[in-house]
Amino acid sequence: MKLERIHLYQLSMPLLTPFATSFGSIDSRECILVEIRTDGLTGYGECAADRDPGYSYETTGTAWHILSEFLIPEVLGVDIQGPEDLQRRMDSVRGHQMAKAGLEMALWDLLGKAQGRPLRALLGGVRERVEVGVSVGLQANPEALVQVVERYLAQGYRRVKIKIKPGRDVGDTQAVRDAFPELRLQVDANSAYTLETAQGLLPLDDLGLLLIEQPLAEDDLWDHRRLQESFSTPICLDESITSPRHARQALEMEACRVINIKPGRVGGLSHGLAIHDLCRIRSVPVWCGGMLETGVGRASNLAIASLPGFSLPGDISATDRYYAEDITNERFILNADSTINVPTGAGLGVTINQKALKKYTLRSS
């Protein structure tokens, strides 16, 4: 399929409520929408990089640069055979997984539209709806946190993740556990600890958590292995897994017992699929992480989360948990059983609200 034209849109999407993590607080989410045109079809992909390099070194600025100066020139006007062919052509660029993933997602959307099949079918998904949870940012104090969690439970979410950081870890988690003894609960530190300071997290081991996500540095595997030895709660890696090779090495060295798969972080859906497969062979549970995506990235997350190895609920919440208005005409809603339906239309199964797209676009090319 010949990629005739590729356009980029840098977006800034206002969040309904600020989202605070150990690396900072945001009240609007930037991202890049990738649009590929070919043979009368248009495919969309979302690049998950944000404005600031707090979660990852990639930003909307670096991704824009890498896409426009290196990745797009490599593939524009070229007859691309599929995701594998695209990945081979992108190999000349080191790293920049989110930039690559945005382009690959748009290709998947095109492939699905060309074949009249939903992305779920292309990827080998087996579920029509997927179990989801909600990721709750740091709040002013533990009492406020308990109130926010209570509100999400009332909406129907049955799995909650709370963000932690030094000074806001055991107390916050204990407060939520005391208020909701049966809740499926997990925590995410976003790399805020060292091997030494993470010893302070040991009381979490008695709170019946599903997992502890990414306590140590974003480029670390070995210290996570050492930390996992002191915890019976599974450690789950997010930031540290940036490719299928890292995933294999993390499992071989027992650096974690669960993996959070974000296709953006690992270079695209095809790499997410590869990590799913290697974890499945080893019976290692995986779940789909989130990056506060627009409807485009959310559709993609739902599709990959429908694969059989995704045995834990994903960080894929309903549209109204994030945005008053989205760039897709479709809005995702939470079912009473804490699931969200996987789109059934061709490709990603979503359509772009051009008026909203225009409203949230900072620059385009």
Any idea which residues carry the catalytic annotation? 163, 262
Name which of Mg ion, ligand OSB, none residue 292 binds, using a CB cut-off of 5 to 8 Å depending on partner kind.
ligand OSB
Asked if 289 is part of the footprint of ligand OSB (rule: CB under 6 A), the reply reads yes
x/- map, 307-336, ligand OSB, by CB under 6 A: --------x-x-------------------
Using CB under 6 A, which of 46, 104, 131, 188 touches ligand OSB? 188
| Structural tokens at position 77 | 């006007």
CB of 135 to ligand OSB, least distance (A): 4
Asked if 290 is part of the footprint of ligand OSB (rule: CB under 6 A), the reply reads yes
x/- map, 190-219, ligand OSB, by CB under 6 A: x-----------------------------
Asked if 188 is part of the footprint of Mg ion (rule: CB under 5 A), the reply reads yes
Asked if 315 is part of the footprint of Mg ion (rule: CB under 5 A), the reply reads no
Asked if 109 is part of the footprint of ligand OSB (rule: CB under 6 A), the reply reads no
Class of residue 7 by CB neighbours under 10 A (exposed 0-12, middle 13-18, buried 19+): middle
Query: 223 or 315, CB closer to ligand OSB?
Result: 315
Name which of ligand OSB, Mg ion, none residue 315 binds, using a CB cut-off of 5 to 8 Å depending on partner kind.
ligand OSB
Using CB under 5 A, which of 30, 58, 223, 238 touches Mg ion? 238
Q: Assign 3-class secondary structure to the chain.
A: CECCEEEEEEEEEEEEEEEEECCEEEEEEEEEEEEEEECCEEEEEEECCECCCCCCCCEHHHHHHHHHHHHHHHHCCCECCCHHHHHHHHCCCCCCHHHHHHHHHHHHHHHHHHHCCEHHHHHCCCCCEEEECEEECCCCCHHHHHHHHHHHHHHCCCEEEEECECCECHHHHHHHHHHCCCCEEEEECCCCCCCCHHHHHHHHHHCCCCCEECCCCCCCCHHHHHHHHHCCCCEEECCCCCCHHHHHHHHHCCCCCEEEECCCCCCCHHHHHHHHHHHHHCCCCEEECCCCCCHHHHHHHHHHHCCCCECCCECCCCHHHCCCCCCECCCCCCCCCCEEECCCCCECCCCECHHHHHHHEEEEC
Query: 113 or 321, CB closer to Mg ion?
Result: 321
Name which of ligand OSB, Mg ion, none residue 58 binds, using a CB cut-off of 5 to 8 Å depending on partner kind.
none
Query: 152 or 287, CB closer to Mg ion?
Result: 287
Question: Which range of residues in 94-102, 118-126, 235-243, 329-337 is near Mg ion by CB under 5 A?
Answer: 235-243
Paired sense of beta strands 258-261 and 286-288, if any: parallel
Phi and psi dihedrals of 146, rounded to 5? -60, -40
Query: 135 or 338, CB closer to ligand OSB?
Result: 135
Using CB under 6 A, which of 55, 157, 310, 323 touches ligand OSB? 55
Asked if 46 is part of the footprint of ligand OSB (rule: CB under 6 A), the reply reads no
CB of 190 to ligand OSB, least distance (A): 5
How many CB atoms within 10 Å of residue 67? Answer: 24
Question: Which range of residues in 64-72, 167-175, 204-212, 289-297 is near ligand OSB by CB under 6 A?
Answer: 289-297
**Which residues 221-260 are close enough to bind ligand OSB by CB under 6 A?**
238
CA 294, 298, 302 angle in degrees (round to 5)? 175
Question: Which range of residues in 103-111, 113-121, 290-298, 325-333 is near ligand OSB by CB under 6 A?
Answer: 290-298
Question: Using CB under 6 A as the criterion, which residues of the chain lie in contact with ligand OSB when the complex forms?
Answer: 55, 135, 188, 190, 238, 289-292, 315, 317
Question: Using CB under 5 A as the criterion, which residues of the chain lie in contact with Mg ion when the complex forms?
Answer: 188, 213, 238
